[in-house]
Every structure is written in C-alpha cells, then in structure tokens.
C-alpha cells in the first residue's frame, strides 16, 4: 500500500484561484434563497452556507465520456474540498438535439461516479429550460437598455456582415431600430408570428471588435420545436452564450469552470452579467468563468461526432461497448469510479494542451483494482496436465487466499485432482532462455498445491502438444511444514478438470492502433480489428457464485468483470486490464 502522506496534496491553478477568492472574502455575504432565481429573490434570503458553488452543465445530447468525467470530478471535488456545493444542471437550450433519454443516462453516470446533487438539504438538479422565463426577462432588460436588437437579416447576410478574422464587420441595417420596435418584434417572435430563421435577437456590442464573439452575437433564435422539458411553451430559445452566464448567476455559482475553447467567450459572459447587474436583475458576487484544458488520451477518440460514428456504423456494439470511452462503457469494462478519481488526481488540471498516455489511465485502474479485487483462478487457454503418481480418485483440498495482501478477505478451498487444466503458455517443449515454467525435466509449483516435475508430453498428428505428464512431490504441499524444501522458480496456476466451470472470456484491447487516431486521414482506418478477442476458459467452481458487475483478478492474467449479458448457464467475463507483465516485454 502506498503511503498517502508521501504524495503532496494535488494543487492546480483553479484551486489557487478559489483559495485566493476565499482569502479575499469575496463570497462572505453571498445569499442563497434555496433555489435558483434573480437577485430580487436571493436578496431577502439568508447567507449561503455553501462557501463556493460549482456546476457540471452537460447538454443532454449524448452519453457522457471520459472527458466529462474530468469535469465532473473536478467540479464536485472542488465543492466538497471547499465546503461548497456542486449543481448538476442540464444545459438544454437547443431542443433540436436534446432528449430525455440522455438526461437519464447522464444522471446515472454522475451518480455512478459517486457524486450526489440531491440530499435532505438541497436539491441541486437543475434544467436551464426551467429558467426560460428569466432569460426572456433578461433579454427584455437588455432591449430596454438599448443593448439588444431584433435583426431581420438572413443568416447569410449576418455571416457576411460579421467580417473576418482580420476585417471588421458591418453594422446591421436594423441595428438602430427603436427600443419600442425591438420590444414589439421580440414579443412577436415569442408569440410565434415568425418562422424559424426569419429574425434573431442580437446583443448590441461592437461589430468592429477584434474578438469576433463580441460582434453583436445572436442571443435568441426562433425554433418551432417541442422541447423535452418545456414542451411547446416556447418557440424562441436562448443561445448558449447568453443563457450560460444567466444560468450560473441564477444558481449563484461562484466558479464557472469550462474548457479552453470558451476562453474567447469570457468577455461576453462578463458583459451579460454586468449589464444585467447594472439593471438590478443580478447582483455581486457575480460568477466567474475559468477555463482548463480538456482531456485527451492516446489511442482514444473523444469527439462526439466520432463516437456517434463508431456506434452508428457498428464498429462497436453500442454506447456501452466496453471499448467505448463512455462512462457507460467504462462501467461495463470494469473501470471503477475510484480509478477515475485516482487518474484525475494524477493528471492534474492546467491550461496546457496535453495528451495523456493511456498507460496512466490504465495504471490508475490497476492500482485500485489490485486493492479492491478478490483473486480467482481461471485457465484461459487450457492444456491438459496429468499427474502420473497422483491417486486416481483423490481430491486434495488446497487453501487459497482471496487476496495475497489482505488476509481479512479470507480464503477458499480449491480441489486438486489427478487431471488438471493449465495454461498452454506455461509449457514449452523447447523453452527459451530464462523460461522458468514447465518443460520436460523441470520442476514448478502448482500454485497453492504441490511441486511437480514434468516427465513428458503427448502430441497429436500435427505435433501439437495435447497433454503434459508429470509427477508430484508429496511432501511439498503449500502451507505444510517443509513444503519449501524444494525450491522452484516457477509457479503456475491450474484448475481441476473435474471440478471447474466453463466461462466465456472477452479480452478487450485498445480500439485504435495509433497514439492519436485523429491524425489519421480517416480515423476508422486506425481501428484495431483485434480489439475484442472471445474465448472459452475454465474457471474454478467458486466463480459460479459471482453476480453481474462483480470484479476479480484472475491470477496471473488480469482484472475481469461479470458482464450483464451473463446468465447462470453461461457466465461472461470482460477483461478490464491485464496485469503488468515484464516477461512479455
């Protein structure tokens, strides 16, 4: 076990910011009415008991993946570490792409990671769509302050007049429409008097801004679409850039943490909040946006488009395929939530673009799995072994610990008989140098049993080894006095041919060959065609007591989890990760 004191507490620039904010008493007297709302509702409420508030704001338009896990763990851990709260908020402002199916899956995945957002004190499950009334009101506030206008230009015209990266844009001919006209038009938009795309509400900032996001960004668009939550109440929907700062403010979020690509958006985020605060709609302390670099992993694609393609084109068997970098996939693969947390601790949080070696991810998983999993014995590639001098019908009970480093996990008895299954790889007719397993004349220990000496083998017509013969040394049984008298270098595992059960094994490997599949002309060409290898294995009989989701280390092989497709007749095991293997290298 590692000494936790040896590793310094993980720190990062966001924690530094929070600690400084707290030291500056920035949030000392902030209010919280118990539910999201504008300042008029928070003002009369007591001081917030949460020192900070963060939020995880997914759009319910897909399944959560490893990248989301980074954000979830960051936000929830921050809240926990600084005696704050973290909200789960669905950023559902675009009904064309969103659905309830995703809402439910996302909730499940956040909980699976071990985070809760609803308890006896607070229910912090929110939907941006529940704030549509406030957002409409906020838009009206801006219009009245002559800070927003309804633009009747076509989308094409708006695009053309936006200018380019190096040239300023041109003002819309509708930019100086009267406040009254804007109010009337916006109301008419809301009433459904116009078709999709006919007009849009825009913030009035500066068409010549060097930051393109400030060239009068659209803040409301017309979409005659049924919303998964608000139904047909609205036919106009706020844009993310306008909605997000308001969502954060209504929820009294202190630290709004997002990924780097939103950095250019921050001036607009601050603009919206300031203007609404000026109008008395919101009050300080206003939320602050902070950006970190998103997760990239070698041999993995995380773009939503590519993940959809993998599923839709059948390169994997659905979103929860154990090879998918989704959280539902991770669950089925057997990657534990605690492994994700350890992984996030190890990779840290910064603003530098980075690509993490998949090894780092896998090693974090191995570390927690090694600690958490009971051991079991399975022979994945069976070869018959016959102990020539072993009594015909004798059953030798062997005591096998469930965990070599944790005796409190107890032990079990495994039956040793004359005929056993061993791994094909554990026997060599002509062993390579330094091979210390079984070969003619060599001695090895049958793990937890006796030392045996290989006396010969049998082959089929093709010369393939089909049976290994040996003698056992009666005085060498594990755990008995003097059993160590005979020293052997090799230890091989085995299961009784008589007392064992057959199971299906699904060995998974990386889905993509190259470090960065995105570099390929077509990432699909980089797919590893051997990313899943099915086989039948023989396992010790105790395994039949396992249930779906149970995880074990199959000794000398790796970590496996019982797949949901298992039945009592046919158990199926997914390989989560192999054990490290210096010999293979």
Rank residues 50 and 148 by Cβ distance to RNA and give the closer one: 148
Q: Which of 375, 376, 418, 506 binds RNA (CB under 7 A)?
A: 375
Nearest approach in angstroms of CB 43 to RNA is 29
Nearest approach in angstroms of CB 44 to RNA is 31
∠ CA 483-486-488 to the nearest 5 degrees?
110
* 252 is an active site residue: no
Q: How far apart are CA 125 and CA 229, in angstroms?
A: 13
237 binds RNA per the rule CB under 7 A: yes
Residue 517 DSSP label: G
Structure tokens at 328: 């539902």
352 binds RNA per the rule CB under 7 A: yes
82-121 footprint of RNA as x/- string (CB under 7 A): ---------x-xx--x------------------------
Helices 337-347 and 358-372, axial angle in degrees (round to 10): 130
138-157 footprint of RNA as x/- string (CB under 7 A): ---------------xxx--
Q: How far apart are CA 480 and CA 396, in angstroms?
A: 13
Q: Which of 53, 85, 221, 255 binds RNA (CB under 7 A)?
A: 221
Report which of 544, 537, 579, 580 is spatially closest to residue 562, judged by C-alpha positions.
544
68 binds RNA per the rule CB under 7 A: no
227 binds RNA per the rule CB under 7 A: no
Q: How far apart are CA 109 and CA 337, in angstroms?
A: 10
Nearest approach in angstroms of CB 45 to RNA is 28
Neighbours of 480 (CB within 10 A): 11
Pairing of strands 200-203, 148-151: antiparallel
Q: How far apart are CA 391 and CA 417, in angstroms?
A: 8
226 binds RNA per the rule CB under 7 A: no
568 binds RNA per the rule CB under 7 A: no
197 binds RNA per the rule CB under 7 A: yes
Which window, 75-83, 106-114, 196-204, 567-575, contacts RNA (CB under 7 A)? 196-204
Nearest approach in angstroms of CB 168 to RNA is 9
Our measurement of the distance from residue 159's CA atom to the centroid of its chain's CA atoms, rounded to an integer in Å, reads 37
Rank residues 14 and 50 by Cβ distance to RNA and give the closer one: 14
Binding to RNA (CB under 7 A) within 380-439 occurs at 403-405, 434-437
* 304 is an active site residue: yes
Q: How far apart are CA 493 and CA 166, in angstroms?
A: 69
Structure tokens at 76: 């929830």
164 binds RNA per the rule CB under 7 A: yes
User: Tokens 């302050």 identify what position?
Assistant: 145
* 294 is an active site residue: yes
273 binds RNA per the rule CB under 7 A: no
Taking CA atoms, 201 is separated from 185, 348, 355, in Å, by 9, 40, 39
3-state per-residue secondary structure call for 16-33 = HHHHHHHHCCCCCCCECC
Q: Which of 239, 422, 562, 572 binds RNA (CB under 7 A)?
A: 239
Sign of the Cα pseudo-torsion (201, 207, 210, 212, in order)? positive
Which residues, other chains included, contact 159 with Cβ-Cβ below 8 Å and sequence gap of 6+?
Answer: none
Nearest approach in angstroms of CB 564 to RNA is 26
Binding to RNA (CB under 7 A) within 1-40 occurs at 1-3, 6-8, 11-13, 16
240-259 footprint of RNA as x/- string (CB under 7 A): xx------------------
Binding to RNA (CB under 7 A) within 465-494 occurs at 477-479, 483-484, 490-491
Q: How far apart are CA 149 and CA 124, in angstroms?
A: 34
Given 15, 51, 59, 425, the catalytic residue: 59
Q: How far apart are CA 110 and CA 132, in angstroms?
A: 25
Binding to RNA (CB under 7 A) within 525-564 occurs at 553, 555-556
Sign of the Cα pseudo-torsion (433, 438, 443, 445, in order)? positive
Which window, 40-48, 65-73, 316-324, 360-368, contacts RNA (CB under 7 A)? 360-368
Binding to RNA (CB under 7 A) within 292-311 occurs at 293
Rank residues 30 and 556 by Cβ distance to RNA and give the closer one: 556
Q: Catalytic site residues?
A: 59, 294, 304
């Amino acid at each position: 076990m590692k000494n936790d004191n040896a590793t310094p507490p993980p720190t990062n620039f966001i924690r530094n910011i929070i600690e400084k904010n707290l030291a500056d008493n920035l949030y000392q007297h902030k209010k919280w009415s118990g539910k999201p709302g504008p300042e008029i509702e928070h003002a009369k409420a007591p001081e917030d008991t949460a020192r900070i508030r963060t939020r995880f704001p997914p759009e319910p338009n897909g399944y959560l993946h490893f990248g989301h896990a980074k954000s979830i763990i960051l936000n929830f851990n921050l809240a926990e570490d600084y005696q704050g709260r973290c909200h789960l908020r669905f950023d559902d402002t675009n009904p064309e792409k969103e659905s309830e199916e995703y809402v439910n899956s996302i909730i499940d995945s956040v909980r699976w990671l071990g985070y809760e957002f609803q308890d006896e004190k607070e229910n912090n499950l929110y939907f941006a769509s529940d704030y549509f009334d406030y957002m409409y009101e906020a838009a009206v506030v801006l219009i009245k302050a002559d800070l927003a206008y309804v633009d009747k230009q076509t989308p094409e015209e708006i695009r053309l007049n936006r200018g380019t990266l190096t040239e300023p844009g041109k003002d819309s001919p509708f930019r100086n429409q009267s406040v009254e006209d804007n109010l009337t038009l916006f109301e008419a938009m809301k009433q459904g008097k116009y078709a999709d795309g006919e007009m849009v509400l825009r913030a009035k900032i500066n068409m010549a801004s060097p930051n393109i996001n400030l060239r009068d960004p659209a803040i409301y668009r017309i979409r005659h679409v049924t919303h998964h939550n608000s139904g047909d109440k609205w036919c106009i929907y706020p844009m993310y850039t306008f909605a997000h700062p308001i969502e954060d403010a209504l929820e009294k979020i202190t630290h709004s943490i997002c990924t780097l690509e939103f950095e250019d958006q921050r001036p607009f985020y601050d603009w919206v909040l300031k203007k609404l605060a000026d109008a008395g709609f919101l009050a300080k302390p206003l939320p602050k946006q902070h950006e970190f670099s998103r997760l990239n992993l070698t041999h993995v694609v995380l773009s939503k488009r590519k993940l959809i393609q993998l599923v839709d084109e059948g390169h994997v068997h659905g979103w929860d395929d154990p090879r998918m970098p989704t959280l539902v996939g991770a669950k089925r693969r057997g990657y534990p939530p605690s492994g994700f947390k350890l992984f996030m601790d190890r990779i840290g949080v910064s603003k530098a673009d980075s690509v993490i070696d998949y090894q780092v991810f896998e090693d974090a998983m191995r570390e927690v799995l090694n600690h958490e999993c009971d051991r079991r014995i399975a022979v994945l590639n069976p070869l018959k072994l016959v102990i020539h001098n072993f009594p015909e019908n004798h059953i030798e009970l062997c005591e096998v610990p469930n965990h070599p480093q944790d005796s409190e996990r107890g032990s079990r008895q495994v039956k040793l008989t004359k005929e056993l299954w061993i791994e094909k790889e554990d026997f060599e007719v002509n062993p390579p140098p330094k091979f210390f397993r079984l070969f003619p004349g060599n001695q090895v220990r049958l793990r937890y049993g006796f030392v045996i000496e290989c006396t010969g083998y049998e082959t089929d017509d093709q010369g393939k080894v089909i049976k290994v013969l040996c003698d056992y040394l009666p005085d060498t049984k594990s755990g008995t006095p003097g059993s160590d008298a005979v020293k052997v270098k090799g230890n091989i595992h085995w299961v009784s041919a008589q007392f064992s059960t057959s199971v299906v094994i699904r060995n998974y490997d990386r889905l993509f060959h190259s470090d960065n599949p995105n570099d390929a002309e077509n990432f699909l060409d980089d797919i590893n065609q051997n990313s899943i290898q099915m086989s039948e294995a023989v396992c010790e009989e105790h395994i039949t007591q396992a249930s779906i989701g149970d995880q074990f280390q199959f000794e000398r092989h790796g970590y496996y989890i019982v797949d949901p497709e298992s039945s009592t007749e046919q158990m199926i095991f997914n390989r989560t990760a192999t054990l490290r293997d210096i010999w293979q290298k």
